[in-house]
């Protein structure tokens, strides 16, 4: 069989596992995103909303994610997708993250780092 015949016969956009990925829904501008309870994301957000905040180590233990995945979650999901105000501070040499407010109305998430010793 030629390559072009193989593509036509069995060629699909399915990945190596044979399953097709589901389409990603994009939220419209101004829409609020809800987080399901009982998920790793909801666990992480609950820790971030606690008065003491959460460290990267605490988030990795609670979710089972690796450190780089937690950092990606903080930047990509918490700040960009959910547009929550994420504050980070340095306490006794340890970086602590906390969600300080509700989603931003204008869509711009800011990063405020304060170095307190």
pLDDT given at position 26: 45
| Fold of the 36-104 domain | Arc Repressor Mutant, subunit A (1.10.10)
Identify which has the larger pLDDT, 43 or 103.
43
pLDDT band for 44, please (50, 70, 90 cuts). very high
User: How many CB atoms are located within 10 Å of the residue 47 CB?
Assistant: 20
Domain regions of the chain by residue span: 36-104
pLDDT digits (tens, 9 = 90+) for 49-62: 999 999 999 999 99
pLDDT given at position 52: 93
Cβ 109 vs Cβ 80: under 8 Å: yes
pTM for this one?
Answer: 0.59
């Amino acid at each position: 069989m030629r390559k072009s015949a193989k593509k036509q016969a069995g060629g699909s956009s399915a990945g190596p596992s044979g399953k097709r990925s589901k389409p990603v829904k994009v939220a419209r501008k101004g829409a609020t995103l809800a987080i399901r309870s009982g998920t790793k994301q909801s666990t992480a957000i609950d820790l971030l909303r606690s008065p003491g905040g959460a460290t990267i180590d605490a988030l990795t233990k609670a979710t089972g994610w690796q450190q780089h995945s937690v950092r990606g979650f903080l930047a990509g999901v918490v700040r960009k997708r959910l547009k929550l105000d994420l504050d980070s501070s340095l306490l006794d040499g340890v970086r602590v993250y906390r969600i300080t407010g509700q989603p931003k109305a204008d869509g711009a998430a800011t990063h405020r780092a304060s170095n307190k010793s």
